[in-house]
Structure 1
Amino acid sequence: MPGLAKYFVAIAAVGIGGYYYYYGDVAKMSDEDYKSAGSVYDFTVKDNAGNDVKLDKYKGHPLLIVNIASKCGLTKNNYQKITQLKEKYYEQGLRILSFPCNQFGGQMPEANGEEMVCHLRDAKADVGDVFAKINVNGKDADPLYKYLKHKQGGTLGDAIKWNFTKFLVDKNGQPVKRYSPTTDPMDIAQDIEKYL
């Protein structure tokens, strides 16, 4: 029996060690700024040219935040409809923040800068303010996306499931709703109107 006890202790030690190796930063994550952030205005992101952008510049505006991709089966419809949302609601205050992401099937291969600008121009996609490419999942996920997922969890876990997941944020910078990648952007219009 003592030999068996040593065996279980050894297994437990390996399990704990393995857990710490892979998830050791979980303890640190609980102290990360994103969990104590009061709103999206507490975050700074990089624009497509690599410059810092403080999101408090959007105070007083409802926001639609979306992770975009160029080679996805959802791209054409989302680019078209997000462009329509911008045209319809920009003058009333809506701001759209688009974050290119290459985490899902490598479907956003374009580089930041001119290549991204040219791609969106060629696609006739006016998808609002376009920022630098980011990760939306994993330990390297952008803090803004960690915050959005923390505030608006998803179905079957909080991870972003695919390109074109959308978050609606009110005028106070509070995430109020999350939409799946397959939600047609125009189906969000009624919700947007509540927060204009």
Structure 2
Amino acid sequence: MSFYALSALNLARKPVNFESFRGKVVLIVNVASACGYTPQYKGLEQLYKDHQSAGLVILGFPSNQFGRQEPGTNEEISDFCERNYGVTFPLFDKIDVNGPNAHPVYTFLKSQQPGDIKWNFGKFLVDRQGNVVKSYPSSEKPESLLPDIQELLNN
């Protein structure tokens, strides 16, 4: 299985083939609207705006697995993110990231960087060749990832 063989449904429940991210640096984050880390949306959006033209893509995957902090519908999630944080990076259908119903994207990510996701806003960084090169805990602020992102963008 390769990163580019994966796919997921976006918030509108339309399939997105990860082949469309070939040659990009991809940051994947499990997100939630009612979490202490929710303000990270602002930093994620800033990273996306600042580095999208250089090849960065951020993919947000809402999950209600941690503290039931993402109870909304896809439409509610979309409205919340747009209204409160101006999110323009791609958001996907609500999923599980751990356990028997974990989405295949997260099964793949965790096979490359072992360990369960501990909380909302865990992050995975994928290089331009589709390799999962690093994972970050929820507490890691988006702006602190910039050196790793810039290194991959420059390669």
> Bigger radius of gyration, 1 or 2?
1
Q: 2:46 — aligned with what?
A: 84
Q: Deviations over 1:65-113 (max 9, x none)?
A: 000000001111x11110110111111110000000000001011101x
AA matched with 1:50: R
- Report 1 or 2 for greater relative contact order, CA contacts < 8 Å, sequence distance ≥ 6: 2
Structure 1 residue runs without a partner (length 5+): 1-36
AA matched with 1:93: G
Report which of the two has the higher share of helix.
1
1:157-176 equivalences under 5 Å are: 158-176=115-133
SS of the residue corresponding to residue 99 of structure 2 reads: coil
Structure 2 residue runs without a partner (length 5+): none
Q: How many residue pairs were aligned?
A: 153
AA matched with 1:137: N
Q: 1:137 — aligned with what?
A: 98
CA distance in 2, matches of 1:126, 1:64: 14
Any conservation in 2 of the 1:83–1:125 contact (CA below 8 Å)? yes
Percent identical among aligned pairs is 41
AA matched with 1:82: L
Q: What TM-score do you get using the length of structure 2 for normalisation?
A: 0.95
CA distance in 1, matches of 2:132, 2:3: 8
Deviation, 1:136, is 0.0
Deviation, 1:125, is 3.8
Note the aligned Cα RMSD (angstroms): 1.0
Choose from 83, 99, 105 the match for 1:122. 83
